[in-house]
Chains A and B, each alone.
Chain A
Amino acid sequence: QVHLVESGGGVVQPGQSLRLSCAASGFTFSSHGMNWVRQAPGKGLEWVAGVWYDGTNEDYADSVRGRFTISRDNSKNKLFLQMNSLRAEDTALYFCARDLVPAAVDPFGMDIWGQGTTVTVSS
Protein backbone atom coordinates (compact mmCIF):
# COMPACT_ATOMS: atom_id res chain seq x y z
CA GLN A 1 0.00 0.00 0.00
CA VAL A 2 1.33 3.38 -1.00
CA HIS A 3 1.92 5.63 1.99
CA LEU A 4 3.44 8.96 2.94
CA VAL A 5 3.74 9.84 6.61
CA GLU A 6 4.91 13.26 7.74
CA SER A 7 6.48 14.01 11.11
CA GLY A 8 8.48 16.70 12.87
CA GLY A 9 5.87 19.39 13.27
CA GLY A 10 5.52 21.34 16.48
CA VAL A 11 5.32 24.73 18.17
CA VAL A 12 8.32 27.03 17.79
CA GLN A 13 9.07 30.70 18.33
CA PRO A 14 9.68 33.14 15.48
CA GLY A 15 13.23 32.90 14.19
CA GLN A 16 13.67 29.28 15.23
CA SER A 17 14.14 26.23 13.03
CA LEU A 18 12.31 22.98 12.45
CA ARG A 19 12.96 19.94 10.28
CA LEU A 20 10.06 18.02 8.79
CA SER A 21 10.35 14.44 7.56
CA CYS A 22 8.20 12.39 5.24
CA ALA A 23 8.55 8.60 5.19
CA ALA A 24 7.51 6.87 1.98
CA SER A 25 6.48 3.25 1.53
CA GLY A 26 4.78 1.02 -1.01
CA PHE A 27 6.38 2.50 -4.13
CA THR A 28 9.78 3.15 -5.69
CA PHE A 29 10.58 6.41 -3.94
CA SER A 30 13.63 7.14 -6.10
CA SER A 31 11.48 7.22 -9.26
CA HIS A 32 9.35 10.18 -8.32
CA GLY A 33 9.73 13.88 -7.77
CA MET A 34 8.51 14.97 -4.34
CA ASN A 35 6.92 18.12 -3.01
CA TRP A 36 5.87 19.95 0.13
CA VAL A 37 2.53 21.76 0.15
CA ARG A 38 1.04 23.68 3.07
CA GLN A 39 -2.31 25.00 4.18
CA ALA A 40 -2.47 27.84 6.68
CA PRO A 41 -5.49 27.92 9.01
CA GLY A 42 -8.57 28.97 7.06
CA LYS A 43 -6.59 29.39 3.84
CA GLY A 44 -6.08 27.49 0.60
CA LEU A 45 -3.27 25.25 -0.56
CA GLU A 46 0.21 26.69 -1.15
CA TRP A 47 2.99 24.80 -2.90
CA VAL A 48 6.19 25.20 -0.87
CA ALA A 49 9.01 23.27 -2.54
CA GLY A 50 9.79 20.42 -4.92
CA VAL A 51 12.77 18.17 -5.62
CA TRP A 52 13.63 15.86 -8.49
CA TYR A 53 13.77 12.08 -8.12
CA ASP A 54 17.55 12.13 -7.65
CA GLY A 55 17.79 15.29 -5.58
CA THR A 56 19.76 17.17 -8.23
CA ASN A 57 17.21 19.91 -8.82
CA GLU A 58 14.91 21.74 -6.45
CA ASP A 59 12.62 24.74 -6.53
CA TYR A 60 10.87 26.88 -3.95
CA ALA A 61 7.98 29.26 -3.56
CA ASP A 62 9.14 32.85 -3.28
CA SER A 63 7.67 33.02 0.23
CA VAL A 64 10.19 30.45 1.55
CA ARG A 65 13.16 30.75 -0.80
CA GLY A 66 16.38 31.28 1.14
CA ARG A 67 14.83 30.05 4.41
CA PHE A 68 13.65 26.52 3.59
CA THR A 69 15.61 23.64 2.06
CA ILE A 70 14.09 20.51 0.58
CA SER A 71 16.15 17.34 0.41
CA ARG A 72 15.75 13.60 0.15
CA ASP A 73 17.49 10.38 1.13
CA ASN A 74 16.59 7.73 -1.41
CA SER A 75 18.42 5.04 0.55
CA LYS A 76 15.97 5.59 3.42
CA ASN A 77 12.89 6.54 1.35
CA LYS A 78 12.64 9.86 3.12
CA LEU A 79 11.92 13.45 2.17
CA PHE A 80 12.88 16.40 4.34
CA LEU A 81 12.11 20.08 4.73
CA GLN A 82 14.55 22.14 6.76
CA MET A 83 12.79 25.32 7.85
CA ASN A 84 14.91 28.17 9.21
CA SER A 85 14.06 31.70 10.32
CA LEU A 86 10.45 30.69 10.84
CA ARG A 87 7.76 33.36 10.81
CA ALA A 88 4.21 33.49 12.10
CA GLU A 89 2.98 33.24 8.52
CA ASP A 90 4.65 29.83 8.17
CA THR A 91 2.06 28.42 10.58
CA ALA A 92 0.29 25.71 8.61
CA LEU A 93 -0.44 22.05 8.04
CA TYR A 94 2.42 20.74 5.90
CA PHE A 95 1.80 17.92 3.44
CA CYS A 96 4.33 15.92 1.50
CA ALA A 97 3.14 14.80 -1.92
CA ARG A 98 4.46 12.53 -4.66
CA ASP A 99 4.70 13.77 -8.21
CA LEU A 100 3.56 11.58 -11.07
CA VAL A 101 6.88 12.07 -12.86
CA PRO A 102 10.53 11.81 -11.80
CA ALA A 103 11.74 15.19 -12.94
CA ALA A 104 9.61 18.21 -13.74
CA VAL A 105 10.41 21.89 -13.48
CA ASP A 106 7.12 22.30 -11.64
CA PRO A 107 4.77 19.69 -10.15
CA PHE A 108 3.20 17.71 -12.96
CA GLY A 109 0.51 16.20 -10.80
CA MET A 110 0.72 15.26 -7.12
CA ASP A 111 -1.04 11.93 -6.86
CA ILE A 112 -0.14 10.64 -3.40
CA TRP A 113 -0.35 12.79 -0.27
CA GLY A 114 0.34 12.28 3.40
CA GLN A 115 -2.04 13.41 6.14
CA GLY A 116 0.18 16.33 7.10
CA THR A 117 2.08 17.60 10.12
CA THR A 118 1.25 20.85 11.89
CA VAL A 119 3.74 23.67 12.35
CA THR A 120 2.86 26.54 14.66
CA VAL A 121 5.12 29.58 14.89
CA SER A 122 4.18 31.74 17.84
CA SER A 123 5.83 33.74 20.57
Chain B
Amino acid sequence: EIVLTQSPGTLSLSPGERATLSCRASQSVSSSYLAWYQHKPGQAPRLLIYGASRRATGIPDRFSGSGSGTDFTLTISRLEPEDFAVYYCHQSGTFGQGTKLEIK
Protein backbone atom coordinates (compact mmCIF):
# COMPACT_ATOMS: atom_id res chain seq x y z
CA GLU B 1 0.00 0.00 0.00
CA ILE B 2 1.28 3.42 -0.96
CA VAL B 3 1.75 5.97 1.80
CA LEU B 4 1.81 9.66 0.88
CA THR B 5 3.60 11.98 3.28
CA GLN B 6 2.99 15.68 2.94
CA SER B 7 5.25 18.39 4.29
CA PRO B 8 5.16 20.69 6.02
CA GLY B 9 2.16 19.91 8.18
CA THR B 10 1.44 23.60 8.53
CA LEU B 11 2.76 26.44 6.38
CA SER B 12 2.43 30.03 7.60
CA LEU B 13 2.78 32.63 4.85
CA SER B 14 1.49 36.06 3.90
CA PRO B 15 -0.58 37.00 0.86
CA GLY B 16 1.69 37.65 -2.10
CA GLU B 17 4.27 35.10 -1.00
CA ARG B 18 5.13 31.86 -2.77
CA ALA B 19 4.00 28.54 -1.30
CA THR B 20 5.72 25.23 -1.94
CA LEU B 21 3.98 22.08 -0.72
CA SER B 22 5.58 18.65 -0.88
CA CYS B 23 4.11 15.17 -1.30
CA ARG B 24 6.39 12.15 -1.02
CA ALA B 25 5.27 8.63 -1.90
CA SER B 26 6.56 5.53 -0.11
CA GLN B 27 7.29 3.96 -3.49
CA SER B 28 7.51 5.14 -7.06
CA VAL B 29 4.05 5.98 -8.42
CA SER B 30 2.52 6.85 -11.76
CA SER B 31 2.37 10.58 -12.36
CA SER B 32 -0.85 10.01 -14.28
CA TYR B 33 -2.80 9.44 -11.06
CA LEU B 34 -1.21 12.10 -8.83
CA ALA B 35 -3.70 14.84 -7.98
CA TRP B 36 -3.86 17.82 -5.62
CA TYR B 37 -7.00 19.08 -3.86
CA GLN B 38 -7.84 22.21 -1.91
CA HIS B 39 -10.28 21.90 0.98
CA LYS B 40 -11.84 24.68 2.99
CA PRO B 41 -13.99 24.11 6.11
CA GLY B 42 -17.65 23.58 5.30
CA GLN B 43 -16.99 23.25 1.58
CA ALA B 44 -16.50 20.42 -0.86
CA PRO B 45 -12.91 19.66 -1.83
CA ARG B 46 -11.72 21.19 -5.08
CA LEU B 47 -9.54 19.51 -7.68
CA LEU B 48 -6.55 21.71 -8.51
CA ILE B 49 -4.08 19.49 -10.34
CA TYR B 50 -4.30 16.05 -11.95
CA GLY B 51 -1.72 14.00 -13.79
CA ALA B 52 0.86 15.65 -11.48
CA SER B 53 0.99 18.86 -13.53
CA ARG B 54 -2.29 19.49 -15.36
CA ARG B 55 -4.47 22.27 -14.01
CA ALA B 56 -8.13 21.39 -13.65
CA THR B 57 -10.75 23.49 -15.39
CA GLY B 58 -11.04 26.98 -13.95
CA ILE B 59 -7.94 26.78 -11.75
CA PRO B 60 -5.83 29.96 -11.83
CA ASP B 61 -2.37 29.67 -13.33
CA ARG B 62 -0.74 30.67 -10.05
CA PHE B 63 -1.26 27.00 -9.12
CA SER B 64 1.23 24.57 -10.63
CA GLY B 65 2.22 20.98 -10.03
CA SER B 66 5.42 19.12 -10.76
CA GLY B 67 7.32 15.97 -9.92
CA SER B 68 7.66 12.32 -10.75
CA GLY B 69 8.55 9.02 -9.15
CA THR B 70 8.24 9.57 -5.41
CA ASP B 71 8.45 13.37 -5.09
CA PHE B 72 5.74 15.81 -6.11
CA THR B 73 5.26 19.50 -5.49
CA LEU B 74 2.36 21.93 -5.55
CA THR B 75 3.43 25.53 -5.98
CA ILE B 76 1.27 28.60 -5.52
CA SER B 77 3.23 31.45 -7.07
CA ARG B 78 1.58 34.40 -5.36
CA LEU B 79 -0.82 33.69 -2.52
CA GLU B 80 -4.25 35.26 -2.63
CA PRO B 81 -6.40 35.53 0.53
CA GLU B 82 -8.71 32.78 -0.77
CA ASP B 83 -5.82 30.30 -1.08
CA PHE B 84 -5.52 29.69 2.65
CA ALA B 85 -6.90 26.19 3.14
CA VAL B 86 -5.84 22.58 3.59
CA TYR B 87 -4.18 20.91 0.61
CA TYR B 88 -4.11 17.18 -0.05
CA CYS B 89 -2.23 15.09 -2.54
CA HIS B 90 -3.87 11.88 -3.75
CA GLN B 91 -2.63 8.81 -5.57
CA SER B 92 -4.08 5.34 -6.07
CA GLY B 93 -6.87 5.71 -3.55
CA THR B 94 -4.63 7.21 -0.89
CA PHE B 95 -4.64 10.78 0.37
CA GLY B 96 -1.76 12.42 2.11
CA GLN B 97 -2.43 13.73 5.60
CA GLY B 98 -2.72 17.30 4.31
CA THR B 99 -0.83 20.56 4.58
CA LYS B 100 -2.60 23.43 6.29
CA LEU B 101 -1.75 26.73 4.64
CA GLU B 102 -2.45 29.51 7.12
CA ILE B 103 -2.12 33.26 7.08
CA LYS B 104 0.99 34.53 8.86
Binding site for B on A (CB under 8 A): 37, 44-47, 50, 59, 61-62, 95, 97, 100, 104-111, 113-116
Contacts and interface: CB of A to CB of B under 8 A. Distances in A.
Interface in B37-90: 37, 39, 44-47, 50-51, 56-57, 86, 88, 90
Nearest to A4: B44
Given A95-B45, A100-B47, 8 more contacts: A47-B93, A104-B33, A107-B35, A108-B50, A109-B47, A109-B51, A110-B35, A113-B44
28 contacts: A37-B45, A44-B86, A44-B88, A44-B95, A44-B96, A44-B97, A45-B45, A45-B95, A45-B98, A47-B94, A59-B93, A61-B93, A95-B45, A104-B33, A106-B33, A107-B33, A107-B90, A108-B33, A109-B35, A109-B47, A109-B56, A110-B37, A110-B47, A111-B47, A113-B44, A113-B46, A114-B44, A115-B44
Contact of A47 (B56, B57, B90): B90
Contacts of A107: 33, 35, 90, 93
Contacts of B35: 107-110
Majority secondary structure of chain A interface residues (helix, strand, loop or mixed):
loop
B1 interface: yes
Nearest to A104: B33
Contacts of A45: 37, 39, 45, 88, 90, 95, 98
B83 to A, nearest CB: 18
